Amino acid sequence: MKKLIFLFLSLLTAGALFQACDNSKTYAEMLEDEKNAVNKFIKDNGIRIISQSEFERNDTITNLERNEYVSLSDGVYMQIVDRGTKEDETDIFATNDEICVRYVEEDIMTRDTTCFNVFLEQWGDANLLYSNPALFRYVVQGTYVYATFLEMDYYWSSVYASTSVPSGWLVALPFVYNKAHVRLIVPSKMGHQSAQQYVNPFYYDIWKFTNKPD
């Protein structure tokens, strides 16, 4: 519990400092900072970016040995670790599906782990953080795609308290199936409300997208 309290206090302090810093910058400057942070994250992690056309020529596969990420729409980068299973048509993500997600979120600006609902050893005694997945409804209406949390995991509901699912998560779904594992670099405009407000990019290791009970 002491670890949990310390984590919340650290996030609140970081948020306050970040907001104070943002007040002295223009939006254009904040966008430039975001761009630089994402580029540095890509460089520091030895990530190779491929185009969507190259991705499609490679049968929509990203080469893990080469640490490839495909550049998708609106500045999202995706790596497919495991495409998931496709035993029948119900394994394909479709409109009105209720999808469970297990993930780790990292702030690209600070490189801190900021939100998660999987077991992480350093927070193993704070089981409220990973005892339940998040559950959202996925909706596709022509070119309009969105999702709303039906159930938020403990951390998301405590820190972000928003039912809107980051749109950056959703761009991965047409390329994968049930029980997929993907990694995403999500710019602020494709992120949650806090990401948009503070022009902050996030990295997601999404351990599993599941549209069926395990």
- Predicted confidence pLDDT, tens digits, the chain (214 residues): 445 444 544 554 445 444 445 568 999 999 999 999 999 999 999 999 999 999 999 999 999 999 999 999 899 999 999 999 998 888 999 999 999 999 999 999 999 999 999 988 876 676 666 778 899 999 999 899 999 999 999 889 988 989 999 999 999 999 999 999 999 999 999 999 999 999 999 999 999 999 976 5
For residue 132, the model assigns a pLDDT of 82
Give this prediction's pTM. 0.87
Q: Please answer whether residues 71 and 77 qualify as being in contact, where contact means their C-beta atoms are separated by less than 8 angstroms.
A: yes
Burial of 50 per CB tally in 10 Å (0-12, 13-18, 19+): middle
Cβ atoms within 10 Å of 209's Cβ, excluding its own: 25
Burial of 43 (0-12, 13-18, 19+ CB in 10 A): exposed
* Residue 197 three-state SS: helix
**Model pLDDT for residues 123-136, shown as the tens digit of each residue:** 667 666 677 889 99
In this structure, are residues 64 and 81 in contact, taking their beta carbons and an 8 Å threshold? Answer: yes
C-alpha distances in Å from residue 3, one per residue of 66, 104, 127? 36, 17, 11
The alpha carbon of 188 is separated from its chain's Cα centroid by a whole number of angstroms, namely 11
CA-CA-CA-CA torsion sign (52, 55, 61, 65): negative
For residue 113, the model assigns a pLDDT of 92
Cβ proximity of 115 and 213 under 8 Å: no
Q: Are 136 and 150 in contact (CB under 8 A)?
A: yes
Sequence-separated (6 or more) residues with CB below 8 Å from residue 105:
113, 114, 115, 116, 202, 203, 204
For the stretch 176-214, pLDDT in tens is 999 999 999 999 999 999 999 999 999 999 999 999 765
Q: Are 162 and 192 in contact (CB under 8 A)?
A: yes
Strand partners, 115: 105
Rounded to whole angstroms, the Cα distance separating 176 from 95 reads: 14
The radius of gyration computed from the CA coordinates of the chain, to the nearest angstrom, equals 17
Neighbour count for residue 190 (Cβ, 10 Å): 23
